[in-house]
A and B are shown apart, each in its own frame.
Chain A
Amino acid sequence: MKSKLRKEAKTQSSTTTTTTTTTATPSELSFAIARIAVSQICQSVGFKATQLSALETLTLVATKYLQAIAGSAASFTNSSNRTQSNLLDLTNALHDVVSLHSGGLSGGSILHRPTSTLLSTSGVLKDLANFVYFHDEIPFAKPIPRPDRTSSSGNSSPGTKKLDCSRGSNVPKWLPGFPNGNNGVDEIYPGKGKRKNGESLWEESVLVGSDLGWKNWNENGRKRVVGEGKVETGRGKVRFKMGSRSGVCRLENNKNNVNDKSNGIDEEEKILVYKRRRRRDDGGRLINL
């Protein structure tokens, strides 16, 4: 009877003081892979079985440890005005994280000296080298298939899907691709070129030769046919002036002065001008008829 009472009191106190360890739910796949790897390590150490909660806790701690190293190294990289991390950043980060537990502070303060090399000064790197040297490698249980980047899979962002081969090596991978302006409608953002009323921007109608009444029109007595998506061949210089009026890019066409009025105006104004011209154009056509 007494033991029962004691037991009850014990359970009550335990329920009041306990807190849950897993606060955030990590992503399923990466956590599952990490769990397999951690269980392999535990097996190699000598465990025959494990509680599920213990394994998940250890996996969570391991992933946090990895992310702590990575975050620390990235902050070291950024503080020295770089984007790509190198060995020195990583060694500094390892010293940051490792010095918390195993007293691995040896040489952490003189890593930057040019005369000293990393392996001789950094105790952490020495430990890691010994670990690699003395421990047998236990490869992961199953090879992980890498997602094929070239095929059009759904997991990549829409901007980076197509332009990986065409961009230069100086452009980082995580930047989205440039919109494709050759066709009136973007391939990447299909809804961008279209407007509700069927209007389109002036420059698109020139480049594409859309069917909005632009094909045949007289200007200064010349008949000009805008081809289907082809720019006229004998064109003059095209100059761009940046930031001339409120940061808007201004286009100047020397030879064909037809576009003078619409240069450097906002898009809305361009459309207005275009509409006015279209009206005039229609009138001209009527006279011609």
Chain B
Amino acid sequence: MNHNQQPGDGTHEDDAALSDFLASLMDYTPTIPDELVEHYLAKSGFQCPDVRLIRLVAVATQKFVAEVATDALQQCKARQAAVVKDKRDKQQKDKRLILTMEDLSRALREYGVNVKHQEYFADSPSTGMDPASRDE
């Protein structure tokens, strides 16, 4: 009997937690604006007047982007640490944290997205120069 009653209390608490979470979404402003999310939702055939669900999609996307960016940041830091070990003095200016295609493609590969990019893509004049200078 006691065993049966416990899940009932648990579901009640979880109900309150769920409604609390949904209510907190009303106050939380995601970085991805509601208008943008509504545009993409409407484009995909998702129809819902509830703002909280739209915010939930925005939060999910924001979380995904933040995770990918964090992974890319870790890749960037690891790469820089490996380089700095070899040549500490030369690469001081390289210490800035820059989101590069290399780190991003490695981070996205863990999420099932295979990004193929040109190694010498003319993004900026210094992009193609860095590996060459490292070779020599």
Contact = CB atoms under 8 A, between A and B. Distances in A.
A255 to B, nearest CB: 47
A115 B115 contact: no
Contacts of B69: 41-42, 45, 47, 58
A166 interface: no
A1 interface: no
A224 to B, nearest CB: 52
Interface of B: 7, 10-11, 14-15, 17-18, 21-22, 24-25, 28-33, 35-37, 39-41, 43-49, 53, 56-57, 59-70, 72-73, 76, 96-101, 103-105, 108, 110-113, 115-121, 123-124, 127, 132, 135-136
A256 interface: no
B21 to A, nearest CB: 5
B56 A90 contact: yes
A44 interface: yes
Given A45-B69, A47-B98, A101 B110 contact: yes
B80 to A, nearest CB: 12
9 contacts: A18-B119, A38-B65, A48-B98, A54-B99, A58-B108, A70-B40, A94-B60, A101-B112, A119-B17
Interface residues of A, number: 78
A17 B47 CA distance: 42
B50 to A, nearest CB: 8
Given A70-B40, A137-B28, A41 B119 contact: no
A100 B97 contact: no
Contacts of A84: 47-49
Contacts of A38: 65
A116 B11 contact: yes
What are the 10 closest A-B residue pairs judged by CB atoms, nearest first? A70-B44, A120-B14, A50-B99, A119-B18, A74-B45, A70-B46, A45-B69, A101-B111, A117-B14, A71-B44
B118 A66 contact: no
B25 A66 contact: no
A206 interface: no
Given A84-B47, A115-B11, A132-B59, A33 B33 contact: yes
Interface of A: 3, 6-7, 10-11, 14-15, 17-19, 21, 30, 33-34, 37-38, 40-42, 44-55, 57-58, 61-63, 65-67, 69-71, 73-74, 77-78, 83-87, 90, 94, 98, 100-102, 115-120, 124-125, 127-129, 131-133, 135, 137-140, 144, 146
Given A19-B116, A30-B39, A70-B46, A51 B99 contact: yes
Nearest to B77: A46
B40 A63 contact: yes
Contacts of A83: 47
B46 A85 contact: yes
Q: Which of B22, B24, B32 has the most CB of A within 10 A?
A: B32
Nearest to B17: A119
